[in-house]
Amino acid sequence: MAFCPIFCCGNGSDRKGRGKKQPPWRVFSLKELHSATNNFNYDNKLGEGGFGSVYWGQLWDGSQIAVKRLKVWSNKADMEFAVEVEILARVRHKNLLSLRGYCAEGQERLIVYDYMPNLSLLSHLHGQHSAESLLDWNRRINIAIGSAEGIVYLHNQATPHIIHRDVKASNVLLDSEFQARVADFGFAKLIPDGATHVTTRVKGTLGYLAPEYAMLGKANESCDVYSFGILLLELASGKKPLEKLSSSVKRSINDWALPLACEQKFSEIADPRLNGDYVEEELKRVVLVALICAQSQPEKRPNMVEVVELLKGESKDKVSQLENNELFKSPLAVGNKNDGISAAEGSSDFISEEKESKHETEENTEP
């Protein structure tokens, strides 16, 4: 199937002035991207994800780019590419990583973004920058609010609305000022107006998946809210979304944090790399918001507009309502003195290796 871009407004052929506003994105030639990335040299590789590899590059004008080189051996990949191109080309917000251009030549499908010099949240929490402790509390709270605002834009302002479906630490990139830019809308599908959810392939990353999405493949905004809750806990605690307890059992970060929150032991949740240097009220708010987001019943989760409001702590009433939420009075959680393990066993987030491997093969719930 020949690749056919959904948009024509970004075509680079009409970029030479003539009084027209320059399009925000353009088509790159394969030659230009080969030369920018030193022929997709291994040393330029930033990492690899579900769709392919990402390379650092530099254009002739000195600007730095990140090029996602997609695996294109199936028609499905062509479709994914078209979807991502269309969605990204539409979306512009200070907390979203927008598309700078694309290239579709021969078998190659590439997407070009601005390079984010501070890489991803993942690299600071668990990766190459984790030892440097560059994420002080102020940066963390800004990243929390900024990324929430990016998702609010996707859910409420983008037309049609967009469900991200893959909110996670490697998809929150950090610019030179450590401002959050939520990336990767390759999983997102456009929600037709009036539809409350779309049933489709279960995608996303283990540990961040809302239980109803993992089981039924029903994606709506509240699945992103769940993933965002996991991301917030990760940001506050520095822990990974899933912790291996034994060779066959993993515990989710929310099952670990809920009993501690019920007992008001917020300092035990805080990332030790913060060395106690955080605003107690803010940490508590972040943790409570995170747990409200990452609860298993989707109808009880807040929406992202409410999440931003709560994170900012602007309404004292809403913050105190949050503290009094029934979730934090759960006898299951409070009674659990076992580091969250017994509570976790009954929950849908408690994943055995067997279930995990099933998820990794991607369930297709479509007929």
Ligand X SMILES: Nc1ncnc2c1ncn2[C@@H]1O[C@H](COP(=O)(O)OP(=O)(O)OP(=O)(O)O)[C@@H](O)[C@H]1O
Tell which positions 155-184 bind Mg ion, by CB under 5 A.
171, 184
Residue 47 contacts ligand X per CB under 6 A: yes
Residue 50 contacts ligand X per CB under 6 A: yes
| Partner whose footprint covers residue 323, from Mg ion, ligand X, none (CB < 5 to 8 Å by kind) | none
Q: From CA 235, how far away is CA 274, in angstroms rounded?
A: 11
Residue 278 contacts ligand X per CB under 6 A: no
Residue 37 contacts ligand X per CB under 6 A: no
Instruction: Among 120, 147, 227, 347, indicate the residue that binds ligand X (CB under 6 A).
Output: 120
Residue 95 contacts ligand X per CB under 6 A: no
Residue 183 contacts ligand X per CB under 6 A: yes
| Partner whose footprint covers residue 155, from ligand X, Mg ion, none (CB < 5 to 8 Å by kind) | none
| Partner whose footprint covers residue 5, from Mg ion, ligand X, none (CB < 5 to 8 Å by kind) | none
How many residues make contact with ligand X (CB under 6 A)?
22
Residue 23 contacts ligand X per CB under 6 A: no
| Selected catalytic residue, list 166, 184, 255, 349 | 166
Q: Which lies closer to ligand X via its Cβ, residue 183 or residue 283?
A: 183
To the question of whether residue 68 is assigned a binding role by annotation, the answer is yes
Minimum distance, C-beta of residue 44 to ligand X, in the bound complex (Å) = 11
Q: Is 166 a catalytic residue?
A: yes
How many residues make contact with Mg ion (CB under 5 A)?
3
Q: Which lies closer to Mg ion via its Cβ, residue 120 or residue 252?
A: 120
Residues of the binding site for ATP = 68
Instruction: Give residues in contact with Mg ion (CB under 5 A).
Output: 49, 171, 184
- Could you give the residue numbers annotated as active site? 166
Instruction: Give residues in contact with ligand X (CB under 6 A).
Output: 46-51, 54, 66, 68, 97, 113, 115-116, 119-120, 166, 170-171, 173, 183-184, 205
Residues of the binding site = 68
